[in-house]
Structure 1
Amino acid sequence: MSRRPTSTSRRFEDGGSMPFVGSLNPKSRPSPVVSIVLVVLGAFLIIGYLYSGSGGSAGKEALMKLEAGASCSSEVLKSIPLLKKVYGDSMHKILHVGPETCSVVSKLLKEDDTEAWGVEPYDLDDADAKCRSLVHKGIVRVADIKYSLPYSRNSFSLVIVSDALDYLSPKYLNKTLPELARVAADGIVVFSGYPGQRRAKVAELSKFGRPAKLRSSSWWIRYFVQISLAENESITKKFEQAATKSSYAPDCQIFHLKPHKK
């Protein structure tokens, strides 16, 4: 299904008295309502500043996070330098699975000695020219990850999945995660949202068909054990050490898994 942005309109009616006129009289005592109005006005001015050019992209990004929660696919982009440090040669042939995969693949392709492919689980109706080019070349595919992936066993050294698993029920996770493990020779990196991080929106429901089910780390760890996927403790420790050294605090949960034993 395609994204269906919603809009909200407000209607203002004329007529009637203005409730704050009396409070503007210099002889009257200031009304606490006026103070509240001024605080709200100040908040709107701050938001306007963040959206303005003077606020910069950092302000816009911060506001987007407040409104919609962190995107784990965006988190992948930020973590690429750390992933290269801890995975080394395993970063030479990568499959990214999840929304915004065109952005992730484009970024990975700019890295030295790195081949990258992507699977977009949802439609690409609003894709830009660069993304359409990746699809045309077969680098990015649109595929339903609830079924078998169109790749042979061990096709990639590393598989990175972000956001997509949060929209799958355990019924489909039972099929999708083993498929990711099947095509990964060296490991899988799962980026998942934190519980309570994000609210379902109409546009989200339209694109993904259901709100994200954001699960706790303990739930994921139990689930990985259930489907015989072991955490890569050595890589996890290296990644955490590298993150601490570079003052990187991820906005998503990150799990490093070993592939199924061959």
Structure 2
Amino acid sequence: MMSRRPVNLSRRFGDSGGGLFSSSKSKTSPALSVGLIILGGLFLIGYVYKGSGLIPIVSYLNSDAMILFLFYERAFIYFSSLLLFIGGFGSRLESFSRLQDLPNAGDSLCTGEVPRAIPILKKAYGDSLHKVLHVGPDTCYVVSKLLKEEETEAWGIEPYDIEDADANCKALIRKGIVRMADIKFPLPYRPKAFSLVIISDALDFLSPRYLNKTLPDLARVSTDGIVIFTGFPDNKKAKGADVSKYGKTAKMRSSSWWVRYFLQINLEENDAASKKFAQASTKSSYIPNCQIFHLKSLN
């Protein structure tokens, strides 16, 4: 089985070594500071209003002015309370936003692209998206997304050791929905077991020697085709990321290389699906961050 370096969870949540919402320096929200200043002014107004003798201006106000005074006082109280709430909530929202931007399940090179493409795939493949096998790192992430789609069954093959699986991923493995398997060897499924096979990132780490066996096997277990998500050859950022995560550099091949290779191993591109996918992408303004190929299944 292809090895993957254990993920250091502490680095996923920032370099400070703290919890999810910690930071290296404590920052005071500007809204909170303004709110505290206003509150201080309100305390002074209350002190005056009670006739303490500090500045007895309230005693000189007529009834109309008193009503106006009380109105503005109440407005100041509500406004300052709102500022205090925003100050506290804003800091938590900022922390949550940072958390959302952090790497998580699906942070592989192209695996994170698959959920974005699901609506487009549904338009291109229709009923073929009812029984799907995903093959690639972080497959629990993709399978979970697919299972949320109506009338869609999904399974996954994880080609790497899962050492940092979350509770959801462990549950999928326990139910047999996700399996760990070395894709250099025949997949543990009967022929035409799935309508569609989606593979992301895994092929980029295989040499042609193993691709010769893996791709035909993927075509063997599908009835309506294979969809391949693979990185662009000029993605330097991805090349740096995969070394730390997978212990090796992905072989980012050009589209012309893949087309020649498909012909070499007698796998035919699915032109009809490619055309539908391109049309749906244009209508939805979808621009993929990875190369996407559509192949026919073996007869």
Q: Is the 8 A contact 2:268 2:295 kept in 1?
A: yes
Match of 2:215, SS state, is helix
Pair 1:53 & 2:94 matched: yes
Q: Quote how far apart the aligned CAs of 1:200 are.
A: 3.9
Give the aligned partner of residue 146 of structure 2. 108
Change (3 A) 1:100 1:223: same
Q: Partner amino acid for 1:247?
A: S
RCO (CA 8 Å, sep 6+): is it higher in 1 or 2? 1
Match of 1:229, SS state, is coil
Cα distance in 2 for partners of 1:125, 1:132 equals 10
Give the aligned partner of residue 188 of structure 1. 226
Q: Quote how far apart the aligned CAs of 1:128 are.
A: 0.1
Give the aligned partner of residue 229 of structure 1. 267
Q: Quote how far apart the aligned CAs of 1:205 are.
A: 3.7
* 1:143-158 equivalent positions in 2, closer than 5 A: 143-158=181-196
Match of 1:190, SS state, is strand
Cα distance in 2 for partners of 1:199, 1:162 equals 14
Q: Is the 8 A contact 1:158 1:186 kept in 2?
A: yes
Q: Quote how far apart the aligned CAs of 1:176 are.
A: 0.5
Match of 2:224, SS state, is strand
Give the aligned partner of residue 3 of structure 1. 5
Give the aligned partner of residue 32 of structure 2. none
Match of 1:82 among 105, 120, 145: 120
* 1:203-242 equivalent positions in 2, closer than 5 A: 204-205=242-243, 208-242=246-280
Change (3 A) 1:206 1:172: farther
Change (3 A) 1:230 1:96: same
Pair 1:117 & 2:155 matched: yes
Identity value in percent = 60
Q: Is the 8 A contact 1:90 1:186 kept in 2?
A: yes
Give the aligned partner of residue 167 of structure 2. 129
Deviating above 4 A after TM superposition, structure 1's stretches of 4 or more consecutive aligned residues are 4-7
TM-score by length of 2: 0.66
Q: Is the 8 A contact 1:228 1:260 kept in 2?
A: no
Give the aligned partner of residue 251 of structure 1. 289
Match of 1:127, SS state, is coil
Match of 1:225, SS state, is helix
Q: Partner amino acid for 2:5?
A: R
Q: Cα RMSD (Å) of the superposition?
A: 2.4
Q: Is the 8 A contact 1:122 1:207 kept in 2?
A: no
Cα distance in 1 for partners of 2:96, 2:172 equals 33
Q: Quote how far apart the aligned CAs of 1:169 are.
A: 0.5
Instruction: Give the gaps of 5 or more residues in structure 2.
Output: 16-92
TM-score by length of 1: 0.74
Q: Quote how far apart the aligned CAs of 1:196 are.
A: 1.9
Match of 1:151, SS state, is coil
Match of 2:225, SS state, is strand
Q: Is the 8 A contact 1:70 1:193 kept in 2?
A: no
Cα distance in 1 for partners of 2:138, 2:269 equals 26
Q: Quote how far apart the aligned CAs of 1:260 are.
A: 1.3
Deviation per CA, 1:59-105: give whole Å up to 9, x if none.
Answer: 937xx7xxxx9721110010001101110110010000001100100
Q: Is the 8 A contact 1:118 1:139 kept in 2?
A: yes
Larger Rg: 2
Give the aligned partner of residue 16 of structure 1. none
Cα distance in 2 for partners of 1:5, 1:230 equals 38
Match of 2:210 among 161, 169, 172: 172
Q: Quote how far apart the aligned CAs of 1:5 are.
A: 5.4
Aligned residues: 211
Match of 2:97, SS state, is helix
